[in-house]
């Protein structure tokens, strides 16, 4: 085989590998919650597989600043209706019924690290969930940002005290 053919095959394989890698990331459109239907756009969150767990890269705008970060979770249902309540509870396939945050394997699988909101109402700092490793684990679920923070506990308030559901998106393949 000629060197030109080797180069063609190498380039084709490289392009195919790059295209396949790009398909591994998925982007969830995020919208503010609304009583009826879907609210105004808030931006996107791109989800990527890393050797440390799933990375969630937000590109969000219009959020009010929260000094302690926002509660950020995977919810069970792929539905953001009814002020986000149609998304159901935190993703908990092992039925632990415990909100213990992203670093304790004895709690909800859907508990993610806090989402940082900047002074200008944007959120762009990625977070990594060490309990989640494959995009297939979160596909078909909702991604939720709560109005308040999260103390990674059910005390003194259930579910970390995240409060109202503020921004939601459905994770689709």
Mind listing the domains of the chain with CATH numbers? 25-170 (2.60.40.200)
- pLDDT value for 64: 87
CA-closest candidate to residue 69, choices 142, 145, 120: 145
Instruction: Indicate the pLDDT class of residue 130, thresholds 50, 70 and 90.
Output: very high
What are 90-118's pLDDT values in tens digits?
Answer: 999 999 999 999 999 999 999 999 999 99
Please, which residues bridge with residue 27 across strands? 46
Question: Taking the model in full, what pTM does it have?
Answer: 0.85
Taking only the tens place, the pLDDT of each residue in 3-57 is 443 334 334 444 434 444 444 799 999 999 999 888 999 999 999 999 999 999 9
């Amino acid at each position: 085989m000629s060197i030109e053919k080797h180069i063609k095959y190498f380039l084709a394989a490289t392009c195919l590998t790059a295209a396949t890698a790009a398909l591994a990331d998925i982007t969830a459109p995020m919208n503010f919650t609304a009583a009826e239907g879907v609210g105004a756009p808030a931006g996107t969150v791109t989800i990527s597989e890393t050797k440390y767990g799933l990375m969630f890269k937000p590109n969000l705008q219009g959020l009010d600043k929260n000094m302690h970060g926002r509660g950020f979770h995977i919810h069970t249902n792929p539905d953001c209706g009814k002020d986000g309540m149609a998304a159901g509870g935190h993703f908990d396939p092992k039925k632990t019924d415990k909100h213990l945050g992203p670093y304790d394997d004895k709690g909800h699988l859907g508990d993610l690290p806090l989402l940082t909101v900047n002074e200008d109402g944007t959120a762009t700092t990625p977070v990594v969930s060490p309990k989640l490793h494959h995009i297939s684990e979160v596909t078909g679920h909702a991604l939720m940002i709560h109005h308040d923070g999260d103390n990674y506990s059910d005390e003194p308030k259930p579910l970390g005290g995240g409060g109202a559901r503020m921004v939601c998106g459905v994770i689709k393949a």
